[in-house]
Amino acid sequence: MDPVKHLTFGSLQIKIFESRALAGKCAAEEGAAVIRSLLSKRDTINIVFAAAPSQDDTLRELILQEGIDWSRVRAFHMDEYLGLEIGHEQSFGTYLDKHIWNRLPFKEIHYFNGAASDSDKECERYADLIRLYPPDLIFLGIGENGHIAFNDPWVADFKDRSLVKVVQLDEVCRMQQVNDGCFEKIDDVPTHAYTLTIPALLQAEYLFCTVPGPTKAEAVYRTANEGISEDCPATIMRNHPNAYMYCDAESGKELL
């Protein structure tokens, strides 16, 4: 399928489509092609998934892709709310269960335990998994404030020495969860979360970033045009050798 526009900023390639459905379909198809290629050379691969409505179309199309042996794929979270147990209705694990993890025969699924009694130990446990199974590919989005995972501007660190950490969520990030329909009001949104850090994300060979919707237009423009800094964490993708962003006409309108 042909995008309305195909742009390159640094190493980041941005494709803009007429609709979010087409953007998600292209992200899934191009991601699936890479998954097949990696599995042709390796016994197993490791994929990190974002959990957000922005990923709905990509994940729906991804499970339809043929020729992938999912029994050789390990699945990981990108982030999770602190305090929500595995299986909680509003946890990211539950979102991923519904949209992909329970619909494909993954080799392994590694959940964050948002309700772990010791958050430091949970960070260590998940970081150990990331060291043991470094991500090959990540399906992600970006936030209205330019975050990737839950690395909001004021906690983002391009040289972070940790792979996983607990962060406090800023008001813009928490309000996005309300705008996305995940919570009724901001007071319902948890104030802290586990997140993979930016160095943990950047070690992946491929980044497939789906960013639809009018509320993301400013973040997309900043990602493409601002100086690369933690003020807009998503700008770091311009330095990644295999980073691809998929926008619809609303999120990409400032680039059209």
Per-residue pLDDT, 231: 97
Of 202 and 191, the one with more pLDDT: 202
Per-residue pLDDT, 170: 73
Per-residue pLDDT, 1: 76
**pLDDT at residue 149 greater than cutoff 80:** yes
**pLDDT at residue 181 greater than cutoff 90:** no
C-alpha 75/C-alpha 191 separation (Å) is 25
**pLDDT at residue 60 greater than cutoff 90:** yes
pLDDT band at 185 (very low <50, low <70, confident <90, very high): confident
In the predicted model, what is the mean pLDDT of the chain? 95
5-252 topology per CATH: Rossmann fold (3.40.50)
pLDDT band at 173 (very low <50, low <70, confident <90, very high): confident
Query: 214-237 pLDDT, tens per residue?
Result: 999 999 999 999 999 999 999 999
Query: 86-114 pLDDT, tens per residue?
Result: 888 889 999 999 999 999 999 999 999 99
Among 18-22, 150-154, 172-176, 188-192, name the one with the lowest average pLDDT. 172-176
Of 195 and 186, the one with more pLDDT: 195
Look up the pTM and report it. 0.95
C-alpha 168/C-alpha 20 separation (Å) is 30
**pLDDT at residue 177 greater than cutoff 80:** no
